[in-house]
Structure 1
Amino acid sequence: MTGSSVAVERRMAAPPQRVWEALTNLKGMERTLKGVTKVEVLTPGPFGVGTRWRETRRMMGKEATEEMWVTACTPAQRYVVEAESHGMRYVSEWDLRPDGSSATTVRMTFTGTPTGRPNLLARLLGRFGAGAVRKAIAKDLDDIAASVERAGV
């Protein structure tokens, strides 16, 4: 069974380096993303391939914690995060593209692929969840834009 993907783009009035810093500042994630209630960094050192953390989010009125890890990273340009939960493998890809001298277009692509026989939750998310996922990604991108645009003032 193949996965399904959702991609959302957002232009931010901030240079790529400032956007990158906001996206990869795991210890500041709770202040940047309104949906994130807790982040526990599990690995020492700078953000890069192998960085792991647990992120707790409030979605659809409930909190859920997932462990994530970075599998690809090109500073100020792109990184990929993976997670596995409830019979699904999730891949989040963040791409930053300079847009003029002081703006950045960020594209986040989220893909969910069953790791075995999908359970009821996985089937429901596959069928009905794309809109909710798209909305959550757009909200995260809005939160990041607000943070980096405010920092530039």
Structure 2
Amino acid sequence: MDHSISLTQHVNASPERVWSVITDIPGSAATLSGVDSVQLLTDGPYGEGTRWKETRKMLGKAETVEMWVAEAHQHRSTTVKALQGGADYTTRFGLVPREGGTDLTLSFGAEVIKPTFASRLMMLLFGRMGMAATRKALTKDLAEIAAKAESLP
């Protein structure tokens, strides 16, 4: 049972500037209005294995999720994973230089692990609503990432 979203935002900033925004985990609560707080769990620069807890409000409810970097290809792409409530979440950012800026593509996927009859029924009843809320939140995240990258010197 897989649910996915892919969105692209053109950013009037170089891939290096966009990369600096999406990999600034400690600063993400200041950049993204949907993120209430971030707690780093590892030291060092952003890269594979970087872990943090992120608290976000979705559908009026605050949720804290532990996230980690599964892949990082500087200035090109990064993949972030999370496991929460029986689901495996994957978020991938892809950066492609275009027209003096960057096309930033965010791909998000949610897969229920070992779906039960009850989880299948819940996804059937509420899956579309949840994915619509997720699409709205991710669209806002992309716009805020773009605004931050475009404001950097």
TM-score, length of structure 2 as denominator length:
0.91
Shift of 1:124: 4.5
CA distance in 2, matches of 1:126, 1:85: 15
User: Are the aligned partners of 2:9 and 2:104 in contact in 1 as well (CA < 8 Å)?
Assistant: yes
SS of corresponding position for 2:22: helix
> Of 103, 109, 112, which aligns to 1:111?
109
CA distance in 1, matches of 2:133, 2:68: 23
CA distance in 1, matches of 2:96, 2:20: 14
List gaps (5 residues or longer) in structure 2. none
Identity of aligned residues (%): 38
In the alignment, is residue 149 of structure 1 matched against residue 150 of structure 2? yes
TM-score, length of structure 1 as denominator length:
0.91
CA distance in 2, matches of 1:12, 1:111: 23
Q: Which amino acid aligns with 1:150?
A: S
Shift of 1:123: 4.9
User: Are the aligned partners of 2:58 and 2:133 in contact in 1 as well (CA < 8 Å)?
Assistant: no
CA 1:21 to 1:125, structure 2 compared with 1: closer, same or farther past 3 Å?
farther
Give the structure 2 partner of residue 4 of structure 1: 3
Shift of 1:126: 2.7
Moved more, 56-65 or 13-22: 56-65
Q: Which amino acid aligns with 1:149?
A: E
List gaps (5 residues or longer) in structure 1. none
